[in-house]
Amino acid sequence: MKIIILTSAGLSNQKITEEFLKLVNKSQSGIKVIFVPTASRTKEELFYVDKSKKELLDIGVKDENIKVFNLDHKISYEEVEGFDVIYVCGGNTPYLLQKVRETGFDNIIKQFVENGKLYFGVSVGSIIAGPSIEISIPFDSNDVKMTDFTGLNLTDIVISPHYKEAEKEIIEEFRKKLKYKIIPLTDNQALLILNNEISLIGD
């Protein structure tokens, strides 16, 4: 079964937290998480990484069961095999996608999901799960000079996180430009994908 939760702001909503725990289906103290902060490079971005980790600790995940995974080497599936969740934090989208590709983590994520494990995206961690990250370019610095914006294709939906009414026109322009379905998410919402069933969680 394909199990994916795509969020703007992590476990920011009780309904998202409840769904997360239900899908992992283990006691909180036994949940093992691969925690990927690689996209975050600025002080502000790193603040939200700390917030994400604190949210996991607050729901009962043990610190020793959270493996911080910096994408700085070629990754094998054996490194993630014993874990229940791959949790990918926010930051800079093109930079994250470049690192995911360079380390082979893209294929690891796909295999992890194929094996029925949970992929949990936060902000850009949600964007890269889709077919294209192009929607991030007006908001993120493309300092890695990326020209191939193809995402991981875990879903055929493009997520636009941190949605505010002021961004409506930008989203509409992308709807005309891209051939994919775009779903904007506020910081209190998440998209749940179970196989081919899609539902919105949160307020």
Show the 3-state SS of 1-45: CCEEEEECCCCCCHHHHHHHHHHHCCCHHHCCEEEECCCCCCHHH
Please tell me what DSSP assigns to residue 153.
Answer: -
Which backbone phi and psi does 50 adopt, to 5 degrees?
Answer: -60, -40
Helix axes 93-102, 105-114, angle to 10 degrees: 80
pLDDT of res. 1: 85
What is the spatial distance between Cα 203 and Cα 196, in angstroms, rounded to a whole number? 22
Which residues of the chain fall below pLDDT 50? none
Options 3.40.50.880, 3.30.360.10, 3.90.245.10, 3.40.50.1970; CATH of 3-202:
3.40.50.880
pLDDT of res. 103: 97
Q: Which residues contact 41 (CB under 8 A, 6 or more apart)?
A: 91, 92, 95
Helices (H), 59-203: 93-102, 105-114, 124-127, 168-177
Greatest extent of the chain over all pairs of C-alpha atoms, in Å: 46
pTM for the complete prediction?
0.94
Q: Which residues contact 17 (CB under 8 A, 6 or more apart)?
A: 11, 55, 59
pLDDT of res. 18: 96
- 3, two tokens: 């199990």
pLDDT of res. 58: 96
Query: Between vectors from CA 129 to CA 126 and to CA 131, what angle results, nearest 5°?
Result: 125
Does residue 151 contact residue 110 with C-beta atoms inside 8 Å? no
What is the spatial distance between Cα 146 and Cα 57, in angstroms, rounded to a whole number? 35
What is the spatial distance between Cα 3 and Cα 54, in angstroms, rounded to a whole number? 23
- 125, two tokens: 């961690």
pLDDT above 90 covers a percentage of the chain that reads 74
105: alpha, beta or left, given left = phi > 0 and alpha = psi -120 to 50?
alpha
Q: Where are the domains of the chain?
A: 3-202
